[in-house]
Chain A
Amino acid sequence: MTAFDTSSNEASVLRQVLRSRSLIIGLVLSAVFIGAALVSYVWTPFDAEALNIPTKLKTPDAVHWFGTDHFGRDIFSMIMVGARTSIAVALIAVGIGILLGVPLGLASAARSGGWLDEVIMRGNDLVFAFPALLIAIMITAVFGPSAVNAIIAIGIFNIPVFARLSRGSALSLWTRDYVLSARVAGKGALRISIEHILPNIMNLLIVQGTIQFSLGILAEAGLSYVGLGAQPPIPSWGRMLADSQTLITLAPHMALFPGFAILLTVLGLNLMGDGLRDLLDPRLRNARR
């Protein structure tokens, strides 16, 4: 299924990308926020952590584009730096999910019906019984709140998602002729999984990865909103919303901008995921349209 190896194919892929509105909007939105996070390392309009009480609770104007918060911090700069936290937490959590979940799923499929399969799948069911928030609550109760705990909680939650996905799709690939001929040729389960199965489920993993990335951003925001995520002074969107809550009548702009930042980032990633799925999975493209 290496469909992208000739130049004419590349051109047609590009055409499809340009034709897919959701993919374009998704890519642009995601690029804006990832760009903001990267730029924040070298430049922000103001120091995101600098307190400046005289300018507190300013509504948006030409100087402070998104206004200031109750400590006089520039909200635009805080959102830029907050994007780093959100993206880093969600991205590493997806990485944990893929690095641990995919090998488990592939092993489970390779030994389908055996005890290893049974153990891995029951383990998956068990982790599914713990929503990310409960994992975060347990870890925080013992180690105290931090961004790392949020990463671990969301990462653990991601593992069964990727394990199930890769097991399910690997199972159907194991019945294909080319896998059969690889077995006849004497290749072991490990080599077949790596050389034949993995490349063929890559598309699915990319799409699911995008979706888990967006879920991770939502989860991180929720965790830091209740105080289980990144701690001050590191800016994070969820905590900006928590801070804004008691001041919502006085300074609604404090609640609006971080909320829109989360909404648009998640929306962008979801649209990108939808667009990628249509692009990478021709079966769905034909069936669902």
Chain B
Amino acid sequence: MLRYTLKRLLSLSVSLLVASIVIFVTIEVVPGDPAFYMLGFNAQPDTIAALREELGLNVSAFQRYVNWVSGMLTGDFGTSYTYRTPVADMIGDRMWISLPLALYALLLSTLIAFPAGILAASKRGSVADTLVMGTTQLGVAIPNFWFAMLMVLVFAINLRWFSAGGFPGWDGGFWLAVKALTLPAISLALPQASILARVMRSALLDTLGEDFVRSARAKGLTRRQALWRHALRNAMIPVLTIIGLQFSFLLAGAIIIENVFFLPGLGRLVFQSISQRDLIVVESVVMLLVFAVVIVNFSVDLAYALVDPRLRRRS
């Protein structure tokens, strides 16, 4: 297990290193002079020179990259050009909306998908199965931001059960904050739950057809017992893969959904920064999100090895 973990850790570090180079080159090298780009065509030469000095652009691209990465490693993400505040603080504030939102959605998606997928697989061909499959077909096809708008129309504007947007902050009480994140989380979770329920169903059906399940049945277990004791654990590998992949979609999706509900999360920050050409902020937020995705996939790999001892031995 230790060797497996170390090997995965190495490939994780390489991924992050290459990703940081790609991000740095795209955002800081491709546009030419970032200071000129951020200030626009009408800027005076001395203003540009001052900004170049301020952003530390008067050194080679390689040196800038090293500064950027070593800064990030010590928690220094640079200073936002527009807001004149440390980027790390801005991200820190907003992460407390985006991350809980993505996790909340992941929780909802799993809570919906597992029972639905297990039900559909254990009662294959029944009305329940058809219903689950039909609903998930719709759930996969619906754009989540549109679903979010419809929920605002129904549950916030007409029924007044929730507020239509905004965030009271975690200081205003835990449940109030959770309530404000509920509609966004549901709209994020719906398409993911649909995908996950389908994966759960087909993975279970696949394992239910395998020899070890047949042996378990021959041993006298009912179909139900065989499903819970043997098939479910073996069906977890594809399900875990999808959950891992979904986390990155949920983080990215959160950026879009935040727009529907006017939540001041990372998404709002990134779109404001794009319109203000605040490249430093964009660069750091993208790196942070990629970091999150890579770490989650790494954890999924480790989770595989825990669920399936065969994978540990193979490496």
Contact = CB atoms under 8 A, between A and B. Distances in A.
Given A226-B259, A248-B149, A141 B289 contact: no
B143 A259 contact: yes
A248 B248 contact: no
B11 A122 contact: yes
Contacts of A225: 143, 145, 256, 259
A262 B294 contact: no
A249 B153 contact: yes
B125 to A, nearest CB: 9
Contacts of B157: 248-249
Contact of B252 (A131, A244, A259, A288): A131
B143 A221 contact: yes
B153 A141 contact: no
Q: How large is the interface on B (under 10, 10 to 19, 20 to 34, 35 or more residues)?
A: 35 or more
A248 B18 contact: no
Contact of A133 (B31, B256, B273): B256
Given A222-B143, A267-B141, A271-B137, A134 B153 contact: no
Contacts of A238: 143
B288 to A, nearest CB: 10
A74 B274 CA distance: 31
Contacts of A126: 15, 18-19, 22
Interface in B102-154: 137-138, 140-146, 149-150, 152-153
Interface in A233-248: 238, 241, 244-245, 248
24 contacts: A128-B297, A131-B251, A131-B252, A132-B252, A133-B255, A134-B252, A138-B282, A140-B274, A141-B27, A141-B273, A141-B274, A142-B27, A142-B30, A142-B279, A225-B143, A225-B259, A226-B271, A248-B153, A262-B143, A262-B146, A263-B146, A267-B137, A267-B141, A288-B202
Interface of A: 122, 125-126, 128-134, 137-142, 214, 218, 221-222, 225-227, 238, 241, 244-245, 248-249, 252, 255, 258-259, 262-264, 266-267, 270-271, 287-288
The 7 closest A-B pairs by CB, nearest first: A131-B252, A259-B146, A267-B141, A266-B141, A133-B252, A141-B282, A129-B293
